[in-house]
Protein backbone atom coordinates (compact mmCIF):
# COMPACT_ATOMS: atom_id res chain seq x y z
CA UNK A 1 0.00 0.00 0.00
CA UNK A 2 1.49 3.36 -0.98
CA UNK A 3 1.40 6.57 1.03
CA UNK A 4 -1.53 8.03 -0.91
CA UNK A 5 -3.60 4.92 -0.23
CA UNK A 6 -2.82 5.07 3.47
CA UNK A 7 -3.71 8.76 3.58
CA UNK A 8 -7.05 8.18 1.85
CA UNK A 9 -7.97 5.59 4.49
CA UNK A 10 -7.32 7.99 7.38
CA UNK A 11 -9.79 10.24 9.09
CA UNK A 12 -9.26 13.99 8.94
CA UNK A 13 -7.96 13.96 12.51
CA UNK A 14 -5.44 11.21 11.67
CA UNK A 15 -4.24 13.07 8.57
CA UNK A 16 -3.74 16.24 10.58
CA UNK A 17 -1.83 14.31 13.25
CA UNK A 18 0.48 12.75 10.64
CA UNK A 19 1.04 16.10 8.91
CA UNK A 20 2.02 17.78 12.17
CA UNK A 21 4.21 14.85 13.10
CA UNK A 22 6.01 15.15 9.77
CA UNK A 23 6.59 18.87 10.36
CA UNK A 24 8.29 18.00 13.64
CA UNK A 25 10.49 15.36 11.97
CA UNK A 26 11.55 17.79 9.24
CA UNK A 27 12.39 20.46 11.81
CA UNK A 28 14.40 17.93 13.82
CA UNK A 29 16.30 16.85 10.70
CA UNK A 30 17.40 20.44 10.06
CA UNK A 31 18.55 20.99 13.62
CA UNK A 32 20.29 17.63 14.03
CA UNK A 33 22.23 18.27 10.81
CA UNK A 34 23.20 21.76 11.95
CA UNK A 35 23.80 21.32 15.68
CA UNK A 36 24.23 17.59 16.19
CA UNK A 37 22.10 15.24 18.26
CA UNK A 38 23.34 16.27 21.70
CA UNK A 39 23.40 19.94 20.73
CA UNK A 40 19.69 19.94 19.97
CA UNK A 41 16.97 20.08 22.62
CA UNK A 42 13.29 19.21 22.38
CA UNK A 43 12.44 22.86 23.07
CA UNK A 44 14.56 23.93 20.09
CA UNK A 45 12.86 21.34 17.86
CA UNK A 46 9.48 22.63 19.03
CA UNK A 47 10.46 26.21 18.27
CA UNK A 48 11.78 25.26 14.82
CA UNK A 49 8.55 23.41 14.04
CA UNK A 50 6.45 26.24 15.54
CA UNK A 51 4.97 24.02 18.24
CA UNK A 52 4.89 24.41 22.00
CA UNK A 53 7.38 22.17 23.80
CA UNK A 54 4.56 20.48 25.69
CA UNK A 55 2.66 19.63 22.51
CA UNK A 56 5.77 17.94 21.11
CA UNK A 57 5.39 15.18 23.68
CA UNK A 58 1.98 14.31 22.25
CA UNK A 59 3.87 13.02 19.21
CA UNK A 60 7.11 11.66 20.71
CA UNK A 61 7.92 10.54 24.23
CA UNK A 62 11.47 11.89 24.10
CA UNK A 63 14.28 12.92 21.79
CA UNK A 64 15.54 9.35 21.39
CA UNK A 65 12.19 8.13 20.11
CA UNK A 66 11.98 11.09 17.73
CA UNK A 67 15.41 10.33 16.33
CA UNK A 68 14.75 6.62 15.99
CA UNK A 69 11.53 7.33 14.09
CA UNK A 70 13.36 9.77 11.86
CA UNK A 71 16.04 7.21 11.08
CA UNK A 72 13.44 4.53 10.42
CA UNK A 73 11.65 6.80 7.94
CA UNK A 74 14.88 7.52 6.08
CA UNK A 75 15.65 3.80 5.89
CA UNK A 76 12.13 3.20 4.57
CA UNK A 77 12.77 5.77 1.85
CA UNK A 78 16.02 4.04 0.89
CA UNK A 79 14.28 0.65 0.92
CA UNK A 80 11.62 1.85 -1.51
CA UNK A 81 14.32 3.02 -3.93
CA UNK A 82 16.24 -0.25 -3.60
CA UNK A 83 13.18 -2.38 -4.35
CA UNK A 84 12.29 -0.16 -7.29
CA UNK A 85 15.68 -1.01 -8.81
CA UNK A 86 15.58 -4.73 -8.05
CA UNK A 87 12.00 -5.19 -9.24
CA UNK A 88 12.35 -2.82 -12.18
CA UNK A 89 13.43 -3.33 -15.78
CA UNK A 90 16.98 -4.02 -16.94
CA UNK A 91 19.56 -6.76 -16.74
CA UNK A 92 21.59 -7.81 -13.72
CA UNK A 93 24.63 -5.64 -14.48
CA UNK A 94 22.48 -2.61 -15.20
CA UNK A 95 20.62 -3.09 -11.92
CA UNK A 96 23.87 -3.36 -9.97
CA UNK A 97 25.03 -0.04 -11.42
CA UNK A 98 21.71 1.63 -10.66
CA UNK A 99 21.77 0.13 -7.17
CA UNK A 100 25.12 1.83 -6.50
CA UNK A 101 23.74 5.10 -7.88
CA UNK A 102 20.77 4.93 -5.50
CA UNK A 103 23.04 4.55 -2.46
CA UNK A 104 25.38 7.31 -3.60
CA UNK A 105 22.58 9.81 -4.24
CA UNK A 106 20.77 8.93 -1.02
CA UNK A 107 23.79 9.27 1.26
CA UNK A 108 24.95 12.46 -0.44
CA UNK A 109 21.55 13.97 0.36
CA UNK A 110 21.55 12.63 3.94
CA UNK A 111 25.25 12.86 4.79
CA UNK A 112 24.99 15.16 7.80
CA UNK A 113 22.16 13.14 9.30
CA UNK A 114 23.95 9.81 8.99
CA UNK A 115 27.18 11.29 10.33
CA UNK A 116 25.31 11.96 13.55
CA UNK A 117 24.08 8.38 13.62
CA UNK A 118 27.58 7.02 12.95
CA UNK A 119 29.00 9.09 15.81
CA UNK A 120 26.32 8.12 18.33
CA UNK A 121 25.28 4.66 17.10
CA UNK A 122 26.28 2.79 20.24
CA UNK A 123 24.32 5.13 22.49
CA UNK A 124 21.26 5.09 20.21
CA UNK A 125 21.15 1.30 20.15
CA UNK A 126 21.61 1.14 23.93
CA UNK A 127 18.74 3.59 24.40
CA UNK A 128 16.52 1.47 22.18
CA UNK A 129 17.38 -1.63 24.26
CA UNK A 130 17.83 -3.65 21.08
CA UNK A 131 14.34 -3.07 19.71
CA UNK A 132 15.38 -0.52 17.14
CA UNK A 133 18.45 -2.52 16.17
CA UNK A 134 16.20 -5.53 15.56
CA UNK A 135 13.98 -3.50 13.23
CA UNK A 136 16.96 -2.30 11.22
CA UNK A 137 18.42 -5.82 11.10
CA UNK A 138 15.13 -7.29 9.84
CA UNK A 139 14.87 -4.68 7.09
CA UNK A 140 18.48 -5.20 6.07
CA UNK A 141 17.94 -8.96 5.89
CA UNK A 142 14.86 -8.46 3.73
CA UNK A 143 16.48 -6.40 1.01
CA UNK A 144 19.68 -8.42 1.29
CA UNK A 145 17.50 -11.40 0.34
CA UNK A 146 16.39 -9.52 -2.77
CA UNK A 147 20.04 -8.88 -3.60
CA UNK A 148 20.81 -12.59 -3.17
CA UNK A 149 18.16 -13.37 -5.78
CA UNK A 150 19.78 -10.88 -8.14
CA UNK A 151 23.16 -12.54 -7.65
CA UNK A 152 21.60 -15.95 -8.25
CA UNK A 153 20.14 -14.63 -11.49
CA UNK A 154 23.60 -13.40 -12.53
CA UNK A 155 25.06 -16.84 -11.81
CA UNK A 156 22.32 -18.60 -13.79
CA UNK A 157 22.92 -16.27 -16.74
CA UNK A 158 26.66 -17.00 -16.68
CA UNK A 159 27.62 -13.45 -15.68
CA UNK A 160 29.21 -14.50 -12.37
CA UNK A 161 31.22 -17.50 -11.24
CA UNK A 162 29.16 -20.27 -9.61
CA UNK A 163 29.79 -19.01 -6.09
CA UNK A 164 27.45 -18.74 -3.11
CA UNK A 165 24.94 -16.02 -4.07
CA UNK A 166 24.46 -15.00 -0.42
CA UNK A 167 28.20 -14.45 -0.04
CA UNK A 168 28.31 -12.49 -3.29
CA UNK A 169 25.51 -10.24 -2.02
CA UNK A 170 27.33 -9.66 1.28
CA UNK A 171 30.59 -8.85 -0.50
CA UNK A 172 28.85 -6.40 -2.84
CA UNK A 173 27.06 -4.67 0.04
CA UNK A 174 30.26 -4.71 2.09
CA UNK A 175 32.15 -2.77 -0.58
CA UNK A 176 29.35 -0.20 -0.82
CA UNK A 177 28.97 0.14 2.96
CA UNK A 178 32.71 0.65 3.44
CA UNK A 179 32.73 3.50 0.91
CA UNK A 180 29.68 5.03 2.56
CA UNK A 181 31.24 4.90 6.05
CA UNK A 182 34.39 6.62 4.76
CA UNK A 183 32.26 9.24 3.03
CA UNK A 184 30.02 9.97 6.01
CA UNK A 185 33.05 10.45 8.28
CA UNK A 186 35.26 12.28 5.79
CA UNK A 187 35.77 15.89 4.86
CA UNK A 188 34.09 17.63 1.98
CA UNK A 189 36.91 16.67 -0.41
CA UNK A 190 35.75 13.04 -0.60
CA UNK A 191 33.81 12.64 -3.84
CA UNK A 192 31.45 9.68 -3.48
CA UNK A 193 30.36 9.76 -7.13
CA UNK A 194 33.94 9.05 -8.17
CA UNK A 195 33.81 5.79 -6.19
CA UNK A 196 31.03 4.32 -8.33
CA UNK A 197 33.46 2.94 -10.89
CA UNK A 198 35.74 1.57 -8.14
CA UNK A 199 32.86 -0.24 -6.42
CA UNK A 200 31.66 -1.91 -9.61
CA UNK A 201 35.16 -2.66 -10.93
CA UNK A 202 36.33 -4.29 -7.70
CA UNK A 203 33.20 -6.39 -7.41
CA UNK A 204 32.90 -7.41 -11.05
CA UNK A 205 36.57 -7.72 -11.98
CA UNK A 206 38.51 -8.08 -8.74
CA UNK A 207 41.78 -6.35 -7.95
CA UNK A 208 44.38 -8.64 -9.49
CA UNK A 209 45.89 -7.50 -12.78
CA UNK A 210 45.48 -9.98 -15.63
Q: Give the mean model confidence (pLDDT) for residues 156-179.
A: 95
- Place 152 in a pLDDT band, splitting at 50, 70 and 90: very high
Boundary of a domain, candidates 24, 39, 60:
60
- Place 209 in a pLDDT band, splitting at 50, 70 and 90: confident
Q: 170 with 203, same domain?
A: yes
Q: 205 with 118, same domain?
A: yes
- Place 1 in a pLDDT band, splitting at 50, 70 and 90: very low
Q: 42 with 86, same domain?
A: no
- Give me the DSSP letters along 153-171: HHHHTTSS-S--HHHHHHH
Comparing 5 with 65, the larger pLDDT belongs to 65
What pLDDT digit, counting tens, does each position of 45-95 carry?
999 999 999 999 999 999 988 988 888 888 888 889 989 999 999 999 999
Instruction: List CB contacts of 199: < 8 A, sequence separation 6 or more.
Output: 100, 175, 176, 179
CATH number where 8 lies: 1.10.10.60
Q: 210 with 113, same domain?
A: yes
Q: How far is CA 4 from CA 59, 73, 204, in A?
A: 21, 16, 39
Q: How far apart are CA 44 and CA 28, in angstroms?
A: 9
**Of the ranges 8-22, 118-132, 148-162, the best mean pLDDT one:** 148-162
- pLDDT at 163 (0 to 100): 96
Q: How far apart are CA 156 and CA 150, in angstroms?
A: 10
Least confident residue range of 47-51, 99-103, 164-168, 186-190: 186-190
Question: Does pLDDT of 113 surpass 80?
Answer: no
Q: Measure the CA angle with vertex 138, ends 199 and 126; round to 5°.
A: 95
Q: 43 with 130, same domain?
A: no
Boundary of a domain, candidates 12, 27, 60:
60
- Give me the DSSP letters along 13-71: HHHHHHHHHHHHHHHHHHHHHHH-STT--HHHHHHHHT--HHHHTTT-SSHHHHHHHHH
- pLDDT at 170 (0 to 100): 95
Domain range for residue 115? Answer: 63-210
Amino acid sequence: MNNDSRQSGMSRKEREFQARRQEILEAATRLFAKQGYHGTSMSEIAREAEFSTGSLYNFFRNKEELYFKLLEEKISLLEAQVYAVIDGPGGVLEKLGTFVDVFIHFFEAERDFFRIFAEQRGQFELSAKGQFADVIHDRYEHYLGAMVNLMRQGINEGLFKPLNPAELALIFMGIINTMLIIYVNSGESYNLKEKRAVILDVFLNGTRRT
